[in-house]
A and B are shown apart, each in its own frame.
Chain A
Amino acid sequence: EAGVTQFPSHSVIEKGQTVTLRCDPISGHDNLYWYRRVMGKEIKFLLHFVKESKQDESGMPNNRFLAERTGGTYSTLKVQPAELEDSGVYFCASSRKLALQETQYFGPGTRLLVL
């Protein structure tokens, strides 16, 4: 089966601009997660969708970040306006269902650099 895909792979933007990241989960996976790794630190949770509903968005840094998953398929994460501290690698992950200890499969990430 195809893995989790993310687009773009890299994005370089200026402070104040808008960037939209896209994630296509593995087909049939109800759960979709966004994570971020900043400056070589740990991978941190941003939010979790179950189908099209936001289950947990406790990790979203502030209201400049907006995630959507219309129709319960792919998801977008928009940063508007971008700030320098938003630079990092944004990972998407998906899992089949929220059973106990369900494996999360990660995408390759989008490397965002805000100048």
Chain B
Amino acid sequence: GENVEQHPSTLSVQEGDSAVIKCTYSDSASNYFPWYKQELGKRPQLIIDIRSNVGEKKDQRIAVTLNKTAKHFSLHITETQPEDSAVYFCAAFNAGGTSYGKLTFGQGTILTVHP
């Protein structure tokens, strides 16, 4: 089955700096890669996603890149703000394989942005 590794497990940055979180996946058939942000005590919320036919996607201060050959994808947050502090999860999805329908998550990254 699919296996997703996420690094780093914790990340501490100063406000205004950039933050990068990296994930690797094992199943080359995975074709959709969402990123979820979970603030303390709240539900995981989708912040950005990328599909396997795209190499990069941006939405204001956040961007995701995908390297299908190397089977890794990354989340980039620029000009970080204290409200970006949360746990970030990457995930991989294969709608057509044996892991039909389910998301496989990375271990999560605790991002802390210091004012």
Contact = CB atoms under 8 A, between A and B. Distances in A.
A4 B101 CA distance: 18
Chain A: interface size category: 20 to 34
A106 B31 contact: no
Contacts, number: 71
Chain B: interface size category: 20 to 34
Given A98-B95, A99-B95, A101-B49, A45 B102 contact: yes
18 contacts: A31-B101, A33-B103, A42-B4, A42-B107, A43-B89, A45-B102, A45-B104, A50-B101, A91-B43, A93-B103, A100-B95, A100-B96, A101-B95, A102-B95, A103-B34, A104-B46, A105-B46, A106-B36
Given A33-B103, A42-B108, A108-B43, 16 more contacts: A41-B107, A42-B89, A43-B108, A45-B102, A56-B100, A59-B102, A91-B43, A93-B103, A100-B96, A101-B95, A102-B95, A104-B103, A106-B36, A106-B43, A107-B43, A108-B42
